[in-house]
Amino acid sequence: MLDATDAALVAALQRDGRASFQELAAEVGVSREAARARVQRLLDRREVRIVGIVAPDVLGLGALAHVSVEVVGDSTAAARALAGRDAVMFLSRTAGRRQLVADVRARDAVALDDELTAIRGVPAVRGIEVFRCVELVKDAYSSARPELPPRPHSAPDPDERDRALLALLQRDGRTSYTELAERVGLSQAATRARVLRLIETGAVHVTGLVASAAVGVREAAGIGLGVDGSAAPVARAAAAIDGVNFVMTGHGRFDVVCGVDAPDRSRLLAILDRLRATSGVVRSESWVHLEIAKEDYAHISPV
What pLDDT, in 10s, does the model give residues 75-90? 999 999 999 999 999 9
Q: Is the dihedral of CA 184, 187, 188, 190 positive or negative?
A: negative
Q: What is the pLDDT of residue 209?
A: 82
Q: What is the pLDDT of residue 54?
A: 86
Model pTM? 0.76
Q: What is the pLDDT of residue 119?
A: 98
- The answer on pLDDT for 300 being more than 50 is no
Domain with CATH 1.10.10.10 in the chain: 4-45, 156-200
Four-way CATH pick for 156-200: 1.10.10.10, 3.30.2090.10, 3.90.1280.10, 3.40.630.30? 1.10.10.10
Q: What is the pLDDT of residue 202?
A: 87
Domain with CATH 3.30.70.3460 in the chain: 58-144+212-295
We find that the CATH architecture of domain 4-45 is Orthogonal Bundle (1.10)
Pick 241 or 141 by higher pLDDT: 241
Q: What is the pLDDT of residue 214?
A: 60
- The answer on pLDDT for 116 being more than 90 is yes
Q: What is the pLDDT of residue 73?
A: 94
Four-way CATH pick for 58-144+212-295: 3.30.70.3460, 3.40.50.300, 2.60.40.1180, 3.40.605.10? 3.30.70.3460
Mean pLDDT of 172-183: 96
